[in-house]
Structure 1
């Protein structure tokens, strides 16, 4: 019986840690400054869902059938946005670097990330194993995380 309690406590702790990174929130709890900045930048956004990312607000939405994310401070200042792009829009140097580093991998999904005007790319690669990799706009490898 003691093991069940320990297991439950460990499970709840892990669940709390996993959910602490991002938490869905109701749009009514998003500050007016954030909603205003978002609507000004993306007036035609649809299917908007809000999350807390630390102390920031992230909108996950569609725009012209493309998936986007935009992150704002609580004061409504834009921090970053990202959008899905076709694989064909990934810079050739990054494609070349990926093929060299992951010869058995297949590019599955590409996100363009704009943080304060600085462009980077997140690329989901299916292979053995599946990974997510980040590159700068000029093709420099940034990091890799298991998918």
Structure 2
């Protein structure tokens, strides 16, 4: 009976591990990325390292580093870049954004700040610590919140 219980728990552990390992079903190898997407990526970000691809609804999300700075891009299957972002330190935020944060969110600590590029537009997205759920905001360069632009996770 002891052996059967051990086998049961061993099997249950293996099942749980296999379920967890399948959670990254969107991950794909670089050789699975369409040629147009790969060409755009390599032309736009020639110095990219630590490249990881995901397929998402006929689009391709790629995470990568450039000189140790985290980047992420969303590229359509035709090779057009829909948006991309990269990490910045808080001191690189425009003064207008910093002012708005200190005025409107004085009790929330800045957890993350990034530049977000959509077409020719530049935005700044920030994550503020807040209980029970963090606050995600997208700012225009003039410091105004843009609620029409979705925060790019």
How far does the alpha carbon of each residue in 1:39-92 deviate from its partner, in whole angstroms, 9 at most, with x for none? 111111111011123221111000001000122111111222110011101011
Give structure 1 stretches of 5+ with no counterpart: 1-18
Partner of 2:71: 68
Give structure 2 stretches of 5+ with no counterpart: 1-22
How far does the alpha carbon of each residue in 1:6-32 deviate from its partner, in whole angstroms, 9 at most, with x for none? xxxxxxxxxxxxx7xx92222221101
1:135 to 130, 133, 139: 139
4+ aligned runs moved over 4 Å, structure 1: none
Taking structure 1 as the reference length, what is the TM-score of the superposition? 0.77
How many residues are paired up? 128
1:122 to 122, 125, 129: 125
Measure how far apart 1:105 and its partner are: 0.9
Q: Secondary structure, in 3 states, of the residue corresponding to 2:146?
A: strand
Q: Secondary structure, in 3 states, of the residue corresponding to 2:41?
A: helix
Partner of 1:43: 46
1:25 matched to 2:28? yes
Taking structure 2 as the reference length, what is the TM-score of the superposition? 0.74
Q: Which has the larger radius of gyration?
A: 2
2:88 to 85, 89, 101: 85
Measure how far apart 1:107 and its partner are: 1.2
